[in-house]
Structure 1
Amino acid sequence: MFFVIFISVIIIQRIVELWIAKKNEIWIKKQGGVEAGKNHYKLMVLIHSCFILSLLAEVFGLKRSLIANWWILIALFILSQIGRVWVIISLGRFWNTKILVLPDAKIIKKGPYRWLKHPNYIIVTLELIIIPLLFQAYYTLIAFFIFNLLILSVRIPTEERMLSLHTDYLKVQNMERRFLIHLKREK
């Protein structure tokens, strides 16, 4: 029963995120925003949809149950969701599931973007580990961790290329190194 409620919450959350993304897409395109990565976006949607289906199949088909120390993973999942909301709020109208860039926009350097270049992808990767691990769905964990790494190996360079072409991304990246800490190059 817990699994059904948990997976239902995730599906509802994804639907709400797609609604937010669509609203933001309409706005950014009206402002002159440009899109990239349409082909791999379809693959990314397929991967994330199949993740849910694989999780359902493995949990029900192989009769998986909650891991012994489930509360630790639930806590990590809740933290990841707080991070997800922080990312969405920090980017505001610029947050999207697609690669949409507004030419000449300034790179956002608030929220988790003060320290990390791609916090949303870190959060998604953590979810693809935490959720299957929570229900001992190890086949789903391994397969979709690999699929996620493959799609991110295409998506991140595409996104960075678009940001470099249309914004001050390169300037910001040359002045600041963002990973886990905020550093400024001394002059």
Structure 2
Amino acid sequence: MVSALWYSVLVGLVAVERLAELVVAKRNLAWSLARGGRESGFSHYPFMVVLHTGLLAGCLLEVWLGDRPFLPALGWPMLALVVASQALRWWCIRTLGHRWNTRIVVVPGLPRVTGGPYRWFAHPNYVAVVVEGFALPLVHTAWLTAVLFTVVNAGLLTVRIRAENDALRSAGA
């Protein structure tokens, strides 16, 4: 029971982090639109919001209703991955600066970013999302949530990455 309380605090902190992302994204959306940015791929965005909200809710519901135990041999390494995924996400945000967003918005004429984690991965933010998506639930053995989110998110990321690549290509980035 005590571990479930601490896990709930962790999920709450991730939720607060997500709200901070939305504040940054809203500010960056205004910056991009003021410079002629064009949004694309909007049709999948509401689904993405529901999926990511569902991840957080599923973590809590499965642990509390399913009486999932905290297994230190699994939980601690998964917590380390959650922290690493947050660090990678904020490295992406810092590297992209005003261009980072939760939406797909491309400002015409700006070159593609190739620094920071973008030196190694075309879409490092999605690496963070994938890692967090399985690691956060597994911190407290919420394996159903981990599997369901991972499978559904794989489909979403297929659509999203295709839309993002198309938007970058059409903008000449």
Tell me whether the two structures share a fold, i.e. TM-score over 0.5. Answer: yes
Alignment TM-score, normalising by the size of structure 1: 0.87
SS at match of 1:100: strand
Bigger shift: 155-164 or 62-71? 62-71
Question: Any runs of at least 4 consecutive aligned residues in structure 1 with deviations exceeding 3 A, and if so which?
Answer: none
The answer (yes or no) to whether the contact 1:73–1:134 under 8 Å persists in 2 is: yes
* 1:90 counterpart letter in structure 2: T
2:12 — aligned with what? 8
- Equivalent residue for 2:29, pick from 25, 28, 37: 25
Q: Give the structure with higher Rg (CA).
A: 1
C-alpha distance in structure 2 between counterparts of 1:106 and 1:9, whole Å: 34
> Please, which runs of 5 or more residues in structure 2 have no aligned partner?
none
| RMSD, matched Cα | 0.9
Alignment TM-score, normalising by the size of structure 2: 0.94
> Please, which runs of 5 or more residues in structure 1 have no aligned partner?
169-187
C-alpha distance in structure 2 between counterparts of 1:42 and 1:76, whole Å: 27
- Equivalent residue for 1:52, pick from 56, 66, 74: 56
Q: Could you give the per-residue CA deviations for residues 1-33 of structure 1, whole angstroms, max 9, x where no partner exists?
A: 211210110110000000000000011000000
C-alpha distance in structure 2 between counterparts of 1:123 and 1:158, whole Å: 19
How far did 1:84 drift? 1.1
C-alpha distance in structure 2 between counterparts of 1:6 and 1:152, whole Å: 25
* 1:33 counterpart letter in structure 2: G
Map 1:27-46 → 2, pairs under 5 A: 27-46=31-50
The answer (yes or no) to whether the contact 1:35–1:99 under 8 Å persists in 2 is: yes
C-alpha distance in structure 1 between counterparts of 2:29 and 2:91, whole Å: 19
Residue 88 (structure 2) pairs with residue 83 (structure 1) = yes
Map 1:175-186 → 2, pairs under 5 A: none
How far did 1:80 drift? 1.5
* 2:166 counterpart letter in structure 1: R
SS at match of 2:39: strand
Residue 65 (structure 2) pairs with residue 61 (structure 1) = yes
2:105 — aligned with what? 100
* 2:88 counterpart letter in structure 1: G
Structure with more helix by fraction: 2
The answer (yes or no) to whether the contact 1:28–1:94 under 8 Å persists in 2 is: yes
Instruction: Report how many residues are paired.
Output: 168
How far did 1:54 drift? 1.4
SS at match of 2:135: helix
Identity of aligned residues (%): 35
Residue 122 (structure 2) pairs with residue 120 (structure 1) = no
How far did 1:130 drift? 0.5
